Structure 1
Amino acid sequence: MIARSNTTIKTWHQLKPIWQGGEELVKIGLPHSQLPPAWQILLLGDGSPTRHLRLLTSETIQVDVIDMSLIGNDLDNAPADIKKIPSPRLRRQVWLKTASGKILAYATSWWEASHVDEYLQNRNLPIWESLSRLHTELYRDIQGIYYGESEALEKGFRQKGAFWGRHYLFWHSGKPLTLIYEVFSPYLCKYLGEFKINN
């Protein structure tokens, strides 16, 4: 059953882009002088980010669910791909953090409300782990990459911006299952190397 809180969170933490790229750039990647290869594997690769974060940190990655809001037919100021997710919709917001409490990423996802319980049976598991337990065949279709600012994420990560993020669709059985928007903490430079952006 869908968890309903007494108050609906009206907003989610979208980056204010300094720079952004679309699907074509996602396919070819960025110059290594702009974004090191390890960062590109995390941002532009089609593997599980929670799996990558666990391998990088050698810690279990936990999910802190901060929002499960029914948004109906609202487009929620989300990427245009939200139109591919049938309505009424549910928005889920989480922090991904290590077992020791270090917040590494933020994610918002949008689901068809009538099907979310089918795929997220345990709300505290990462999406990929939940779907893997169901043996759900998926295709991660990355649509956009962003470098931008967010005061809310600076507070959440306890790191100064700007931040790298992306959005993608999960496809299942030829249909879009969920839209996901992720932003990563600069703390990951410890593992992935420093980056710079040319405005």
Structure 2
Amino acid sequence: MSITFTSINNLKQPAAWHRLTPIWQGGEEVIQKSLPHTQLAPAWQLMLLGDGSPTRHLELLTGESVEVDVIDMSLIGMDLDAAPDLIQALQGPRLRRQVWLRTASGQRLAYATSWWEASHVDEYLQNRSLPIWASLARLRTELYRDVRGIYYGDSSALESGFGVTGPFWGRHYLFWHHGQPLTLIYEVFSPYLTKYLGAMQLNSQNQ
């Protein structure tokens, strides 16, 4: 199935993606050591710092299938796109994909932006309506999720999209396949998930 990309030769720029304005952020050292529970509760650390599939976790939490609303697929060429520096690990020209992850009943749970080597998109995202995890699982693709950054911050666009106020927790990571970086992903989770995961932070009396 073919798809039309935004041409990098057009005067119109690709739609912006929704990066958090950080209140706090951490890198690999923080991710390896974990965070104090007064900053990020254990259940939320499993979601943000673990290397398992967030789509599968969301399905297990909600008891519903998780579906994708694709809101942008733009060919960005060699532009760094204000993405995390790891975008330079991907060969160009590149494609950027933005999605909402939601339950089948319509509740938005997460927002994600991913960057791909444009020539590989058709190979790995054969069905654009599926979450990345589901697409790659169907292909039996062996992957390693390498979490490299975590964020706590604000975004007016995500407040509007999720229908709740921030701040929000997010992260970025590389997917590796056969020793090579396959895609860079930036994810932000809705505070709605406190319904399943509990409070984002624990007070000192709970520890």
The one-letter code matched in structure 1 to 2:46 is: I
Q: Determine the C-alpha separation between the residues in 2 that align with 1:117 and 1:3.
A: 12
Residue 125 (structure 1) aligned to one of 130, 134, 145: 130
**TM-score normalised by length of structure 2:** 0.92
Aligned to 1:172: 177
% of aligned pairs identical?
71
Can you list the C-alpha shifts for 1:64-85, whole angstroms capped at 9, x where unaligned? 0000000000000000000001
Aligned CA RMSD, in angstroms, stands at 1.5
Residue 192 (structure 1) aligned to one of 159, 182, 197: 197
Residue 90 of structure 2 contacts residue 182 of structure 2 at CA under 8 Å; is this kept in 1? yes
Compared CA separation, residues 5 and 77, structure 1 to 2 (3 A): closer
Aligned to 2:112: 107
The one-letter code matched in structure 1 to 2:51 is: D
Q: Determine the C-alpha separation between the residues in 2 that align with 1:146 and 1:114.
A: 30
Q: Determine the C-alpha separation between the residues in 1 that align with 2:120 and 2:38.
A: 43
Residue 8 of structure 1 contacts residue 70 of structure 1 at CA under 8 Å; is this kept in 2? no
Shift of 1:5: 5.2
Aligned residues: 198
Residue 155 of structure 2 contacts residue 166 of structure 2 at CA under 8 Å; is this kept in 1? yes
Aligned to 2:187: 182
The one-letter code matched in structure 2 to 1:4 is: F
Residue 37 of structure 2 contacts residue 201 of structure 2 at CA under 8 Å; is this kept in 1? no
Residue 6 of structure 2 contacts residue 75 of structure 2 at CA under 8 Å; is this kept in 1? no
Residue 142 (structure 1) aligned to one of 138, 147, 155: 147
Runs of 4 or more above 6 Å deviation = none
Can you list the C-alpha shifts for 1:90-146, whole angstroms capped at 9, x where unaligned? 000000000110000000000000111000000000001101111111000000000
Residue 156 (structure 2) aligned to one of 151, 158, 164: 151
The one-letter code matched in structure 2 to 1:125 is: L
Q: Determine the C-alpha separation between the residues in 2 that align with 1:82 and 1:173.
A: 18
Unaligned runs of 5+ in 2: 203-207
**TM-score normalised by length of structure 1:** 0.96
Residue 147 of structure 1 contacts residue 165 of structure 1 at CA under 8 Å; is this kept in 2? yes
Residue 8 of structure 1 contacts residue 69 of structure 1 at CA under 8 Å; is this kept in 2? no
Residue 62 of structure 1 contacts residue 97 of structure 1 at CA under 8 Å; is this kept in 2? yes
Residue 90 (structure 1) aligned with residue 95 (structure 2): yes
The one-letter code matched in structure 1 to 2:170 is: G
Residue 75 (structure 1) aligned to one of 64, 72, 80: 80
Aligned to 1:3: 4
Residue 110 of structure 1 contacts residue 179 of structure 1 at CA under 8 Å; is this kept in 2? yes
Shift of 1:34: 1.6
Aligned to 2:168: 163
SS in structure 1 opposite 2:119? Answer: coil
